[in-house]
Amino acid sequence: MPDPLFIGLMSGTSVDGIDCALTRITPAGVELLATCEHPIADDTRRRITAISQRGDNEIERMGALDRELGELFASATLALLEQSGHRAEDIRAIGSHGQTIRHLPPSVHRPPEYGFTLQIGDPNTIAERTGITTVADFRRRDIATGGEGAPLAPAFHAAAFAAQGLSRVILNIGGIANASLLDGAGGVRGFDTGPGNTLLDHWVQRHQGRPYDRDGQWAAEGEVDSVLLAQLLAHDFLARTGPRSTGKEAFNLAWLDQQLQQLPHSPEPQAVQSTLAEFTAASIAESIAREAGPLDEVYVCGGGARNTDLMRRLYRRLSPARLDTTAALGIDPEWVEAAAFAWLAWRTLGGLAGNVPAVTGANRDVVLGGIYPAAGAIGIK
């Protein structure tokens, strides 16, 4: 019997598209077979951004967008199947992260016992449209056991990238950045470090009408404002230790505007972009140094791995550790997160825990996600 195939679907904080990864998963590892990036229309992106903030008529807007994104995730899956030459019957399951519209875990929400996270992209619709069993809603079970619900990638990073005797960090730079600390002896810790691309993307969108700063060129040609940088680095989240997660609720343009208003001067937009890039690099490097101490290697994945300017800033701050992307370890950095949710779906169907309590703060290992069977599917294993 051939090894099972799983599809992972990921739409991150930056809402720059749906990453789709077709994988072959066995206890020995993960093989990436095919990938595609499915677009999200500008109007849909605007409505996702709007529903991610408090506003009127939220329940109706959320319900409609949940169904719309379910259709979009299904279309992304069908496009990947057509591109790769596979059929629905070839796929054991889809692991769909969904689109986060709120992340207010116990460490942030008051009262903490009602902390929550919410991802939309209706898995019922995905299963019905594709004919493939779908696993989704991965984060809320971890929160139900006292965790942050994030980051979830460290368990996958440990399975895919750990090496005996080497102290490694797997650094995912999406809209928010998170680090997995692999100690070389089987131990894994992890945490969100703070902003990744989200502030950079929103600032360049505001001032240049582009979705992102290609290669970080605009930031690279600007000058860092040291006063603004020090002010940004004073954010309360960056002083926290232990299990921690964050999102656009903490790092957004409204917060940045407040910081700019408090300055005794008005920096040029390009100087702000350069400072935001340095803020991302500094917050990552300082978090890693505080939690990991000396280390051998740092491998970057996520959209930030394509930002040449940001990678240069990280190189300067993380030296003498080796800095590279996860391509050096066998998985293209663009597809690591999507592959992670394919792997988490594999864990769920196998009745295996997907969280790491040392990372999320949960009080126990737990199987993550809900299972939405394809029509005619019997059993979950």
The tens digit of pLDDT for each residue in 55-94 reads 899 999 999 999 999 999 999 999 999 999 999 999 999 9
Question: What is the pLDDT at residue 27?
Answer: 87
How far out from the chain centre does Cα 184 lie? 24
Please answer whether residues 338 and 35 qualify as being in contact, where contact means their C-beta atoms are separated by less than 8 angstroms. yes
Q: What pLDDT does 1 receive? A: 58
Residue 381, number of CB atoms within 10 A of its CB: 6
The residues near 148 (Cβ < 8 Å, ≥ 6 apart) are: 105, 106, 107, 142, 243, 244, 245, 360, 361
Q: What percent of the chain has pLDDT over 70?
A: 98
Whether 294 shows a pLDDT value over 80: the answer reads no
* Fold of the domain built from segment(s) 5-148+334-372: Nucleotidyltransferase; domain 5 (3.30.420)
178 phi and psi angles, rounded to 5 deg:
-140, 150
In the Cβ-directed half-sphere of 322, how many Cα atoms lie within 13 Å?
12
pTM: 0.94
Q: Per-residue confidence at 379, pLDDT binned at 50, 70, 90?
A: low
192-215 tens-digit pLDDT: 999 999 999 999 999 999 989 999
Least reliable range by pLDDT among 15-24, 287-296, 310-319, 362-371? 287-296
Q: CATH 3.30.420.40: which residues of the chain?
A: 5-148+334-372, 153-331
**If 0-12 CB within 10 Å is exposed, 13-18 middle and 19+ buried, where does residue 36 land?**
buried
Query: What CATH number was assigned to the domain covering residues 153-331?
Result: 3.30.420.40
